[in-house]
Amino acid sequence: MNDFAPLMIATALFAFLSPGLVLQLPGKTKAVEFLNMKTSVPAVVFHTVIYGLLLVLFLIVLNVHVYV
């Protein structure tokens, strides 16, 4: 049996936390901007930190598994 949870979680988080796709923290003109499809270096750094923390939460703390 294969555990596909890490792959599925990492892919979903990467898609949703791409700066500018759904939201951008911090935005260029406001603190939060939605669906602007633009990015900045501070936004990339912030989203990278959030991505890493959420991966640790799901894969290590919650120990999520999806077996097929």
Q: What are 39-49's pLDDT values in tens digits?
A: 888 888 888 89
pLDDT of residue 39: 82
The residues of the chain scoring below 70 in pLDDT are 1
Q: Is 15 exposed, middle or buried (0-12, 13-18, 19+ CB in 10 A)?
A: exposed
Residue 59 domain-assigned? Answer: yes
- Rounded CA gap, 60 and 41, in Å? 28
CB atoms within 10 A of CB 47: 22
pLDDT of residue 10: 92
Domain around 51? 39-63
Structure tokens at 57: 């939460």
CB atoms within 10 A of CB 56: 11
Are the beta carbons of 16 and 61 closer than 8 angstroms?
Answer: no
Number of structural domains the chain divides into = 1
pLDDT of residue 53: 92
Residue 58 domain-assigned? Answer: yes
